[in-house]
Amino acid sequence: MAEPSEPIATRRRRNPTYYAWLSIGAALVTIALKTIAYLLTDSIGLLSDAIESLVNLVAAGIVLVVLRIAMTPPDDEHEFGHGKVEYFSSGLEGALILVAAIAIIATAVPRLLVPRPLVDIGLGLGISAAAAAVNLFVALRLRAAAREHHSISLEADSHHLMTDVWTSAGVIVGVALVAVTGWERIDPIIAIGVAVHILWIAWRLLRRSASGLMDTAVPATDRAALLEVLARYERTDGIQWHALRTRQAGARRFVSVHVLVPGEWTVQRGHDLCERLELDLAATRSQTTVFTHLEPVEDERSFADQGLDRE
């Protein structure tokens, strides 16, 4: 088993929890701004936007807790680390979005049946636009951090905030249309549209969380990088291999492969090759743990263990 040592530059990266705190701060600011915009305009669309920001706050708090757990070193009860806890974070976020969508629809339907005029539209839209700008800035920061740390929790939070940006844009357009056309039912219709959209986001988050808990393999691009390394060793060292298996646990991924070499090799020679191979496979992406199993190529039994269960 091998893992690449972290370069000094990597160690100086910001702690992932920094971005969770950034998300919490953004949620508090946008809740305040959107609530003020709703109170000024009495717009259900803006209220739905504020409700979604409240969900953002709860979700960011969950992300903070989950990231701290995920960074906890392996222990006797969790010998492969705590990375899988990140899937619970995205699953809880999806559940919270579902609750928010139901609340938005429950608030918008009565206003659709009995519409009410909006007031102070200009000021309210300006405040809402400022809140959207805050969310856009933080979403882009979280997206970059998610790629840097390979964190699905930060990635889910980034997608959620970006959805909030588009939601705010739709609400702003809807309220502006009410001001222009005078048709007051546009406001609750937009709110219901927002709710349907975030229901779709919730479904995606829940589905991805379930996939992660079921030990989903690494993405095709990551697997291609692993296959390239193995092919290089086939050419340069004359080895064979099979039973390449991968799985992800939050930011960490696990790779296992069986390596077949001539039976006449010494244990030391086979061990040295596996050490090099493990390091090269692990170097294809950070936070990769690699396990190899050495076998003699001439032994028929070496080919009886390619499946998950030995034949």
Residue 198 CA to chain centroid, in angstroms? 16
- The percent of the chain in helix, strand and coil, each rounded to the nearest 5, is 70, 10, 25
Contact 65, 18 (CB under 8 A): no
In the chain, the percentage of residues whose pLDDT exceeds 70 is 94
Sort residue 244 into left (φ over 0), alpha (ψ -120 to 50) or beta: beta
Listing from the earlier edge strand, what are the strands of the sheet with 288-296? 240-249, 252-261, 288-296
pTM over 0.85, yes/no: no
Q: Which tokens go with 111?
A: 């206003």
What was the pLDDT predicted at 8? 38
Distance CA 261, CA 296 (A): 5
Q: Residues 219, 247: contact at Cβ < 8 Å?
A: no
Taking residues 63-80, report their average pLDDT: 85
Most confident of 92-96, 143-147, 188-192: 143-147
* CA-to-CA separations, 23 to 29, 62, 64, 94, in angstroms, rounded: 10, 11, 9, 17
Residue 280 reports pLDDT greater than 90: yes
* Cα–Cα distance list, 145 to 88, 209, 213 (Å): 19, 19, 23
Enter the DSSP assignment of 36: H
List of domains in the chain? 8-213 (1.20.1510.10), 220-303 (3.30.70.1350)
- Give the single-character DSSP code of 272: H
Average per-residue pLDDT in the chain?
Answer: 83
pLDDT-based confidence at 5, cuts 50/70/90?
Answer: very low
